[in-house]
């Protein structure tokens, strides 16, 4: 029995979401990743977040590049649309899809190699454009699919499986995002769904580009002693900086918003992100302060996690470009293609 199947059973008390679907309705095909890969846990978190959000499966578009991480869209929401692009080129595909159909929920899944090595330029512009999508970087510090070479996120001094240390400075996607004007920046850990699922739900409600860097150990090539992206190292050094709760509807908020250490950020769709136990000098809506805080506290090797920065006010790609509020496929042919007379008139303008 070379490939083992997953029985169709559901727990007899399995709950249903607003669409009447169980969580199993959001599953995809069986994973072919190595057993124990962090990526599979992130997949499970995405499944849960989408189910909890009651996002209709057929209104989801899954996008990815190349890598073990980029294979994972196959493993969630079988009923969704999907596009598996060339290595590092997912943001370009996403930009096109989002421009054509503003109505879908876009989930991009990428790796540290896919986004920070070959695809860094693509990622940068996706951030700048504030594409309305969730962008998950499954960060394991290596090129898992090609057998464990260091990626651009490998920490200085982190050791490969053979024992050699990385000598190049890492690119930190969180700081990259902050410096490029990202409007939603978070970091989490595949082994902490209690934190990751609410972050994913907030990201799904965010109007704009939601960048989530998820440390996701590669059990096969980067889970040894000396690795800074192993399960053990991440558990030892990660510190939850801010605790964030996702509250689907504003009226459900019970906490006292004014109390010290609590901040509420309203999302465009009426939901709220509640920040609790935020350090005194930390404001998740102040880009400069967040950057400064990270500069100060990340020096000692700590991995700070949580929904670190959020800006719900900046215009997203559609507002910036004043695109049609109607998906292109729903426009009349005559509107979509106004004819050669209209083209002539337009060109006349440029003479």
Partner 1 sequence: MGPRAGPLWRGTLKTNDVSHPDYFHKVVDCQWACPAHTNVPEYIRLIAQGRYADAYMKNRESNVFPAVLGRTCDRPCEPACRRGRIEEQPVAICRLKRVAADLKGDISDMLPKAPEQNNGKRVALVGAGPASLTVANDLRPLGYEVTIFEKQSKPGGLMRTNIPSFRLPESVLDEEVANIINMGIDIRYDSPVTSFKSLLAEGYDAVFVGSGAPRGKDLDIPGRHDSDRIHIGIDWLESVAFNHIDSIGSRVLIIGVGNTAMDCCRTSRRLGGTEIKVMARRPRGYFKASPWELDDAEEEGIDIVINHAPKRFVVENGVLKGMEFDRLEWDAEARKSKTVETVFIAADDVILAIGQENAFPWIERDLGIEFDQWEVPIVDETTFESTRKSVFFGGDAAFGPKNIIWAVAQGHEAAISIHNHCQGVPATDRPPQGMNLISQKMGISEWSYHNDYNPAHRQKMKHVDLEERFRQLNVEVEVGFNLEQTAREAQRCLNCDIETVFVPKKCIECDACIDICPVQCLTITRDSEEAELRTRLSAPATNLDQALYASEALPQTKRVMVKDEDVCVHCGLCAERCPTAAWDMQKFNLLIQYAGTSCTT
Ligand X SMILES: Cc1ncc(C[n+]2csc(CCOP(=O)(O)OP(=O)(O)O)c2C)c(N)n1
Q: Enumerate binding residues for partner 1 (CB under 8 A).
A: 1-14, 24, 31, 34-38, 40-41, 43-44, 190-191, 193, 217, 219, 223, 231-232, 235
| Given 112, 172, 192, 223, the residue binding Mg ion (CB under 5 A) | 112
Rounded Cα distance between 137 and 198, Å, is 17
* Token representation of residue 13: 């008390």
Work out whether 111 is an interface residue with Mg ion (CB under 5 A). Answer: yes
Q: Are 238 and 305 in contact (CB under 8 A)?
A: yes
- C-alpha to C-alpha distance for 15 and 319, rounded to whole angstroms: 38
For the CB of residue 349, give the shortest distance to Mg ion in the complex, in Å.
48
Residue list 68-107, contact with ligand SF4 (CB under 6 A): 68
Binding residue (CB under 6 A) for ligand X from 24, 81, 87, 297:
87
From ligand SF4, partner 1, Mg ion, none, interface partner of 14 (C-beta below 5 to 8 A by class): partner 1
- Give me the DSSP letters along 125-172: HHHHHT-SEEEEEEE-SEETTTT-EE-TTPPTT-B-TTSPBP-SPPP-
CA 126 to CA 180: how far, in whole Å?
10
Which stretch in 107-115, 161-169, 239-247, 301-309 sits in contact with ligand X by CB under 6 A? 107-115
The residue sitting closest to ligand SF4, measured at its beta carbon, is 144
Residues 224-283 that bind ligand SF4 (CB under 6 A): none
Q: Which of 53, 110, 139, 140 binds ligand SF4 (CB under 6 A)?
A: 140
The Cα 177–Cα 319 span in angstroms is 20
- Return left, alpha or beta for 155; rule: phi > 0 is left, psi -120 to 50 is alpha, else beta: beta
Binding site for ligand X (CB under 6 A): 66-69, 87, 111-114, 118, 138, 140, 142-146, 151
């Amino acid at each position: 029995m070379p490939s083992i199947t997953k029985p169709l059973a559901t727990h007899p008390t399995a709950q249903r979401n607003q669409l009447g679907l169980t969580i199993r309705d959001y599953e995809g095909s069986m994973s072919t990743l190595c057993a124990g890969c962090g990526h599979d846990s992130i997949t499970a978190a995405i499944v849960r977040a989408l189910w909890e959000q009651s996002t209709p499966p057929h209104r989801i578009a899954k996008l990815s590049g190349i890598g073990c991480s980029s294979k994972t869209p196959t493993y969630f929401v079988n009923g969704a649309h999907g596009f598996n692009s060339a290595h590092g080129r997912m943001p370009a595909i996403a930009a096109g899809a989002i421009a054509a159909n503003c109505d879908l929920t876009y989930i991009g899944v990428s790796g540290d190699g896919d986004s920070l090595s070959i695809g860094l330029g693509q990622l940068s512009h996706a951030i700048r454009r504030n594409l309305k999508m969730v962008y998950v970087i499954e960060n394991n510090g290596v090129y898992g699919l090609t057998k464990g070479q260091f990626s651009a996120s490998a920490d200085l001094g982190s050791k490969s499986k053979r024992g050699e240390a990385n000598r190049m400075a890492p690119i930190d996607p969180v700081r990259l995002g902050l410096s490029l004007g990202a409007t939603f920046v978070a970091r989490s850990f595949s082994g902490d769904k209690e934190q990751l699922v609410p972050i994913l739900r907030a990201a799904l409600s965010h109007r704009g580009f939601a960048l989530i860097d998820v440390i996701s150990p590669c059990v096969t090539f980067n889970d040894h002693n000396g690795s800074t992206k192993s399960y053990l190292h991440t558990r030892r050094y990660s510190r939850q900086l801010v605790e964030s709760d996702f509250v689907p509807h504003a009226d459900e908020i019970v906490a006292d918003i004014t109390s010290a250490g609590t901040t509420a950020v309203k999302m465009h769709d009426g939901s709220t992100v509640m920040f609790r136990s935020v350090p005194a000098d930390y404001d998740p809506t102040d880009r400069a302060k967040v950057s400064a805080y990270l500069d100060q506290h990340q020096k000692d090797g700590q991995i700070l996690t949580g929904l670190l920065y959020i800006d719900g006010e900046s215009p997203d790609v559609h507002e910036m470009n004043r695109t049609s509020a109607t998906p292109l496929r729903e426009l009349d042919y005559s509107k979509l293609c106004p004819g050669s007379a209209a083209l002539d008139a337009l060109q006349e303008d440029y003479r």
